[in-house]
Amino acid sequence: MIDENLTELRSFNIDLRKNKNLEIVSDEINKLIDSGFKTVTVKIYGSSKDAAVNLGNDKSLFENIKNVQSLPDNVVYDFLKSRGSLADSDLMKRMSNER
């Protein structure tokens, strides 16, 4: 979710396999400093599918959920990331007002 008080100042893509990445990031940060900015928020985005695989999920599971449910990649990732978190919580107990 984006804070309503923030606006995108710069956007750029970098190839993590190349050695010049720190120079690119440094150049962009220096441009912001030269423009008078004292603070910025940095957000890093990557492939939802790759992130799901990094959580230990199979690419085919990701694709099956995406295609069967007609969901965007980020929703499938959020679903896979949260898998089991409700089962491990006391949600049902709280919903039934049991103590």
Show me where the domains of the chain are located.
Answer: 1-45, 48-92
pTM: 0.62
Highest mean pLDDT among 20-24, 69-73, 93-97: 69-73
For 12-29, what is each residue's pLDDT tens digit? 778 777 767 777 788 888
Residue 98 clears pLDDT 70, i.e. is over it: no
Spatial separation of the C-alpha atoms in residues 33 and 95, rounded to whole Å: 50
Determine the angle formed by the axes of helices 73-82 and 59-69, rounding to 10 degrees.
120
Model pLDDT, residue 8: 75
Residue 65 clears pLDDT 90, i.e. is over it: yes
